[in-house]
Structure 1
Amino acid sequence: MSLGCITPLASAMVGMRLPLHKPPPIHHNPFTKLYPSRRRVAQIPINMAFITTDEQGITRRIGNHHPNLWDDDFLQSLPKSYDAPCYGERAEKVIKEIKGMFNALPLHSSSADDLYKRLSMVDDLERLGIDRHFQTEIKAALDYVYRYWDDMNGIGCGRESPCTDLNTTALGFRILRLHRYGVSSGVLQQFKSKDGQFLYSNNQSNEKDLRSILNLFRASLIAFPKEQVLDDAKSFSTAYLKQALPNINNTNLSKEIKFNLEYGWHTNVPRLEARTYIDIYGDVKTSNSIFNSKLLELAKLDFNMIQSIQQRELQILSRWWTESGLGKLEFARHRHVEFYFWAAGGCIEPKYSTFRIGFAKMATFVTCLDDIYDTYGTLDELKVFTEAIKRWDFASLEGLPEFMKLTFKVFDEGLRDMAREAEKTQGRDTLDYARKAWEVYIDAYFQEAKWLAMGYMPSLEEYLENGKVSSGARVVTLQPILSLDVPLSSDVIKEIDYPSRFDELLCLTLRLRGDTKTFKAEADRGEVVSCITCYMKDHPGSTEEDALEYLNSLIDENLKELNWEYLKPDSVPIISKDHAYVLSKGLQLLYKERDGFSVSGIDTKNLITKTMIEPVPM
């Protein structure tokens, strides 16, 4: 989702209008693309694989994206094996049994590890993906722990422990903060020596010490801006765990550490964590107690039942995709299954089907529009197309290519459908509100198309101001959020939607993360304007490595601020923030190594197969 910048191709090859400013002299090779040099850009040969001529003889750029990986017949044949009522009945029975065990915990235990035990139970429920069934019990357990929390010293294993404990304090800090209890990261200062280094054991095969450092690492990821102790904790624990890994005899602890180091927090979506932790938990804890075996049984049942729901929704989405005709747009990325995975990785409540399917549709529209504006459309076409969308008038598309008419038709119908769903919850028509958001988004895309035609290289600030809109994060999130079963007043919407800082950070992290992973592939297609090239223009003599170092640091700081905006107390219903925030995590996951949408290769397919296709063995 980034810009293209091909002045000679724009005017001579793609049928675009002549540049508004005279471009630099063109060398003999007509197939050129522009590369950054202050406001203008220098020329390098364009890859001919990204040039095509349509049936009308218009030469266009294309992305050369690979086709859809998910055959509709395969999706329609998914068995939904855990649809039968007997599984739900068994799950309800196990839930009642687990609640009984929770409630049997004494209110004022004298156990030496009662605080750690409660925290560990909550942590297991959340990592296994079944915490939504036990919200009352979790609240009671955390209220109990918080009563004994000391903001200077943290807590020990039990409420009567004479000494604070790193493992319990780090685990407690993380869980309490994520549940919006007011806890300070300063509690971790006591575990540092006078020279500022964290105290630790040299015995890196000691399981207890390793688990303490692992929980310190996990705690360090839930950082707010300017929490130096958490930055220090992250650096220390990361290095310690990586060094310790070769010496760990416990295979399952090793797996747990590897998973946390690889996926951290911002790329660790709930469904992936649940599927991974079910395997780890099954090997480690089921022999410890009836409680643990019950948790594992419920986790497996719940995972498979949710998976059956997701498979049914995938079938609905795939039928919509086929019937919409969007598959005829051969130049566009066909990634509706990947978009569904993006939403379903964090939103698992059965009743939120509209959210998951709606998000996948909105993301599909964004991708089709992205490929039209970035590569396939000519500037003259895009001008008319933009004006037609902003008037929401299909008749205004007269004379435009069929691919634009089809995109507009399906896009407009999709927005209307989502507005009808949102009205059921919001009690009012939100179509005009959603359309205004899309109009701003389309303007941002058209601005990028004009930059392309002019051969203009914006500053990083100018690029990001436009890019946080053209990232599409707001428009793909807005209507699905409005479809949740929580009415949002206009004032409350503004705290999660534009112009809130929460919304701005979601959009910025999408733009920044996307550009850092896609700029090389997009440069091959002629789309050379990105955060990286704009930074290099602003800092003459800098390298790609310099730009990436700065931008990755900027992403880290934005994610810390996003943590704060997500967890701070305000009037926004938590469920709305939860679902918007977890969409950000899904994006971070799919852009973890590269653009997991444009190149939906084996890694992305394996994630989808693991979480949505293959059930957990019972």
Structure 2
Amino acid sequence: MQLALPTKPRTNYTFPYKGGQYVSKPYTHISSNVSEKTMPCSIRASGTTTRSSNQVTTISRRSGGYKPSLWDFDFIQSLDSAYMGECYVKRASELKQQVNSMLQEGTMEQVDQLELIDDLQNLGIARHFEDKIKQILESIYQSNYGLHCATYQQKQSTDLYAIALEFRLLRQHGFHVPQEIFDCFKNEKWDFKASLGEDTKGLLQLYEASFLIKEGESSLELARECTTKLLQEKLNDIIDDSNLSLLVRRALELPRHWMLLRPNIRWFLDAYGKRPDMNPTVFELAKLDFNIYQANAQQELKHISRWWKETGFAKELPFARDRVAESYFWTTGIEPLEKGYERILCTKIIILGTVIDDIFDVYATLEELQLFWDVLERWDLESMEKLPVYMQIYFLALNNTINEIAYHVLKQQGVLIIQHLRKTWVDLCKSHMKEAIWYNNGVKPSLEKYLDNAWFSVGVPTFLYQVYFLVTNPIEKEAIKYLNEYHNIIRWASMIARLADDVATARDELERGDVPKSIKCYMNERGASYEEARDAIRVLIWEAWKKLNTDRIFSSCPFPEVYIQNVVNLARVGQSIYQYGDGYGYHHCESKNKDRIISMLFDPVA
């Protein structure tokens, strides 16, 4: 499957993708002995003293240069929101009934229904009306696109805004709406008509709709290119409608389909409150719902903060990133939202994934990693004594968390999953080990070779593997088989997160001297500049989204919808957290990252 990249000369790059399936080459077995000649220790930047069970040695090590957490333990533990009170829950219940009555109104025009649904989604309260929304969308789909409706093109109006909004919402909810509904807006050359440039609202909706593209849809590809250009020109000319101008600017930064909702609700609340057609009941419910969510999130964050302190990581593994709040950010896409304990467990997984990444990429020597791999591959607690103390502490924390998750699932569903959980951590460390050997031997992998390993080393597959057991009931044996193979939707969501991470962190990792990431691999292969390589990797992100859309909506998927939604949300997390730079390591985007966390977790809406 070819991916056209902007290079000089222009060439095609192929993901390792054959027969309609992503091909993951088997990981090279890593034995406990290193067969390849390693780089000298002088490559490591700083001297540290490492304690083991029987000796003290000074080893030269690198440093990630990570800054301390923006929010310390005492601050997080001091969080206290009034919105935990019963009176707020009661008021929210009353408002839900009123909004539900609005959706029930039989006199509402179809476009008004769709606009209300869109507003409820953007404001984060659509989950309260899920059944009614599905009923409305099902009715619209059957009326306009059902089996007995062969003349949908003739039945459609020429209202670009209404058609694009309908298309986007229906596709978003899994309905197979054809791209041909936009053919009426094309000229005799099959380009979009120039007159569409006069309809800014319609252009914005078509732009947003185009991101639900599947592979091979040339009309939607053309729509994205056309609308992007026209909307950018309109911003330069200044759009008269200030609210519309805000929406256009925001969409060009990150389209709605790629955007993780929860961290962006504050922005949508502010924009909605300025609209002349703002519905006071909807607005009050959205603000109250956000504040209640935030109050519960603070309690979960306090629990995680206490766990982080109890692990001793901050003291014994000071090289690792202390990112409690940012790790919780990764789990804000977990649905259903009410799964608080499961979200706490998911945050622990993210933290453990971050620390193992720092152990492999920054701190440990190759010899230490070989010892760690030998213990982990066999999951041999009896052999831990040969590890340095910091690795012993990490391995026991990992083992305890896996046991906690397995115990929770066993209580809930009577299914024993401990071997499955161990498997995915072994798989993750295989991918890290491969990169460690590359680094220590000065290997410069090709882009294809890098991506074939890096989609896994980013940690998202391991995270999503465990998320399945935490959000799915009942657990199905058939689905576990596809989990073990890391189904395509997991692979493409992981690839999106990997590439977004690479685009954001490439300069810092180049300066630090890590294994070449995708941008550097592309530069090495094509002789491209940094800017050209970054643009090329952004094209790969677009292609990966198309593949994810295809596998999610148009292919047979063995997973329940609740899990599929979590997989897509993880791709959105990757886009969001690296949108302005390294939102996890704090390199070059500390203020933006800080503002986003504060607005989502700490400051209630007035």
TM class by shorter chain equals 0.7 to 0.9
Helix, strand or coil for the counterpart of 1:53? strand
In the alignment, which residue of structure 1 is the partner of 2:355? 368
In the alignment, which residue of structure 2 is the partner of 1:9? none
Q: Return the letter of the residue paired with 1:443.
A: K
Give CA-to-partner distance per residue, 1:23-82, whole Å, 9 cap, x none.
7xx9xxx956xxxxxxxxxxxxx9xxx433336321111111111111111111112221
Percent identical: 32
For the residues of structure 2 that align with 1:199 and 1:478, how far apart are their CA atoms? 46
In the alignment, which residue of structure 2 is the partner of 1:410? 397
In the alignment, which residue of structure 2 is the partner of 1:193? 187
Helix, strand or coil for the counterpart of 1:354? helix
Q: Structure 1 residues 417 and 462, CA, compared in 2 at 3 Å: closer, same or farther? A: same
Give CA-to-partner distance per residue, 1:100-140, whole Å, 9 cap, x none.
2322324xx7xxxx221121121111111111111222122
Helix, strand or coil for the counterpart of 1:59? strand
Q: TM-score, normalised by structure 2?
A: 0.87
Give CA-to-partner distance per residue, 1:399-455, whole Å, 9 cap, x none.
432211111111111111111222244421111011111111112211222222222
In the alignment, which residue of structure 2 is the partner of 1:281? 272
Q: Does the CA contact (< 8 Å) of 1:384 and 1:397 recur in 2?
A: no
Give CA-to-partner distance per residue, 1:328-373, whole Å, 9 cap, x none.
21111111210101211x2364531133222221111111111111
In the alignment, which residue of structure 1 is the partner of 2:214? 224
Please point out which of 126, 142, 146 is paired with 2:137. 142
For the residues of structure 1 that align with 2:156 and 2:366, how far apart are their CA atoms? 72
In the alignment, which residue of structure 1 is the partner of 2:592? 603
For the residues of structure 2 that align with 1:514 and 1:162, how far apart are their CA atoms? 41
| 1:180 and 2:174 are equivalent in the alignment | yes
Q: Does the CA contact (< 8 Å) of 1:419 and 1:479 recur in 2?
A: no
Give CA-to-partner distance per residue, 1:164-202, whole Å, 9 cap, x none.
321111000000001111201111121112233322548
Q: TM-score, normalised by structure 1?
A: 0.85
In the alignment, which residue of structure 1 is the partner of 2:61? 60
Moved more, 579-588 or 241-250: 241-250
Helix, strand or coil for the counterpart of 1:52? strand
In the alignment, which residue of structure 2 is the partner of 1:549? 535
For the residues of structure 1 that align with 2:484 and 2:602, how far apart are their CA atoms? 33
In the alignment, which residue of structure 1 is the partner of 2:602? 613
Please point out which of 342, 345, 350 is paired with 1:355. 342
Q: CA deviation at 1:153?
A: 7.2
For the residues of structure 1 that align with 2:568 and 2:197, how far apart are their CA atoms? 38
Q: Return the letter of the residue paired with 1:90.
A: R
For the residues of structure 2 that align with 1:76 and 1:340, how far apart are their CA atoms? 15
For the residues of structure 1 that align with 2:141 and 2:493, how far apart are their CA atoms? 31
Q: Does the CA contact (< 8 Å) of 1:416 and 1:431 recur in 2?
A: yes
Helix, strand or coil for the counterpart of 2:212? coil
Q: How does 1:271-310 map to 2 (within 5 A)?
A: 271-285=262-276, 292-310=279-297
For the residues of structure 2 that align with 1:607 and 1:162, how far apart are their CA atoms? 41
Please point out which of 190, 193, 214 is paired with 2:204. 214
Q: CA deviation at 1:313?
A: 0.5
Q: Return the letter of the residue paired with 2:169.
A: I
Q: How does 1:484-523 map to 2 (within 5 A)?
A: 484-495=471-482, 498-523=485-510
Q: Does the CA contact (< 8 Å) of 1:343 and 1:356 recur in 2?
A: yes
For the residues of structure 2 that align with 1:424 and 1:586, how far apart are their CA atoms? 30
Q: Structure 1 residues 522 and 152, CA, compared in 2 at 3 Å: closer, same or farther? A: farther
For the residues of structure 2 that align with 1:203 and 1:406, how far apart are their CA atoms? 61
Moved more, 467-476 or 453-462: 453-462
In the alignment, which residue of structure 2 is the partner of 1:264? 255
Q: Does the CA contact (< 8 Å) of 2:330 and 2:573 recur in 1?
A: yes
For the residues of structure 1 that align with 2:38 and 2:367, how far apart are their CA atoms? 18
Q: Does the CA contact (< 8 Å) of 1:54 and 1:60 recur in 2?
A: no
Q: CA deviation at 1:497?
A: 5.7
Q: Structure 1 residues 240 and 536, CA, compared in 2 at 3 Å: closer, same or farther? A: closer
Q: CA deviation at 1:488?
A: 2.3
Please point out which of 334, 345, 357 is paired with 2:322. 334
Q: CA deviation at 1:567?
A: 2.4
For the residues of structure 2 that align with 1:136 and 1:21, how far apart are their CA atoms? 61
Q: Structure 1 residues 75 and 244, CA, compared in 2 at 3 Å: closer, same or farther? A: same
Q: Structure 1 residues 148 and 104, CA, compared in 2 at 3 Å: closer, same or farther? A: same
Q: Structure 1 residues 469 and 348, CA, compared in 2 at 3 Å: closer, same or farther? A: closer
Give CA-to-partner distance per residue, 1:299-342, whole Å, 9 cap, x none.
11111111111011011111111111111211111112101012
Q: Does the CA contact (< 8 Å) of 2:47 and 2:58 recur in 1?
A: no
Give CA-to-partner distance per residue, 1:274-293, whole Å, 9 cap, x none.
22221222221556xxxx22
| 1:427 and 2:414 are equivalent in the alignment | yes
Please point out which of 537, 553, 558 is paired with 2:544. 558
For the residues of structure 2 that align with 1:524 and 1:395, how far apart are their CA atoms? 39
Q: Structure 1 residues 504 and 22, CA, compared in 2 at 3 Å: closer, same or farther? A: closer
Helix, strand or coil for the counterpart of 1:284? coil
For the residues of structure 2 that align with 1:350 and 1:502, how far apart are their CA atoms? 21
Give CA-to-partner distance per residue, 1:442-499, whole Å, 9 cap, x none.
1221122222222222222222222222221111222233111522212123445633
Please point out which of 227, 230, 241 is paired with 2:231. 241
Q: Return the letter of the residue paired with 1:92.
A: S
Q: How does 1:76-115 map to 2 (within 5 A)?
A: 76-106=77-107, 114-115=109-110
Q: Does the CA contact (< 8 Å) of 2:269 and 2:287 recur in 1?
A: yes
Moved more, 186-195 or 493-502: 493-502
Moved more, 61-70 or 353-362: 353-362
Q: Does the CA contact (< 8 Å) of 1:515 and 1:531 recur in 2?
A: yes
Q: Structure 1 residues 174 and 443, CA, compared in 2 at 3 Å: closer, same or farther? A: same
For the residues of structure 1 that align with 2:105 and 2:38, how far apart are their CA atoms? 79
Q: Structure 1 residues 589 and 267, CA, compared in 2 at 3 Å: closer, same or farther? A: farther
Q: Does the CA contact (< 8 Å) of 1:460 and 1:534 recur in 2?
A: yes
In the alignment, which residue of structure 2 is the partner of 1:524? 511
Q: Does the CA contact (< 8 Å) of 2:360 and 2:436 recur in 1?
A: yes
| 1:171 and 2:187 are equivalent in the alignment | no
Greater RCO (Cα-Cα under 8 Å, separation 6 or more) = 1
In the alignment, which residue of structure 2 is the partner of 1:132? 127
For the residues of structure 2 that align with 1:162 and 1:65, how far apart are their CA atoms? 55
For the residues of structure 2 that align with 1:217 and 1:152, how far apart are their CA atoms? 26
Task: Give the gaps of 5 or more residues in structure 1.
Answer: 1-15, 33-45
Q: CA deviation at 1:575?
A: 0.5
Give CA-to-partner distance per residue, 1:189-242, whole Å, 9 cap, x none.
2111223332254885xxxx2211111111011111121111111112122222
For the residues of structure 2 that align with 1:571 and 1:164, how far apart are their CA atoms? 38
In the alignment, which residue of structure 1 is the partner of 2:16? none
In the alignment, which residue of structure 2 is the partner of 1:39? none
Please point out which of 319, 322, 330 is paired with 2:306. 319
Q: Does the CA contact (< 8 Å) of 2:464 and 2:490 recur in 1?
A: no
Q: Return the letter of the residue paired with 1:99.
A: N
Q: Return the letter of the residue paired with 1:57.
A: T
Aligned length, in residue pairs: 561
Q: How does 1:443-592 map to 2 (within 5 A)?
A: 443-495=430-482, 498-539=485-526, 541-568=527-554, 570-592=557-579
Q: Does the CA contact (< 8 Å) of 1:389 and 1:439 recur in 2?
A: yes
Q: Return the letter of the residue paired with 2:135.
A: A
Q: CA deviation at 1:22?
A: 8.5
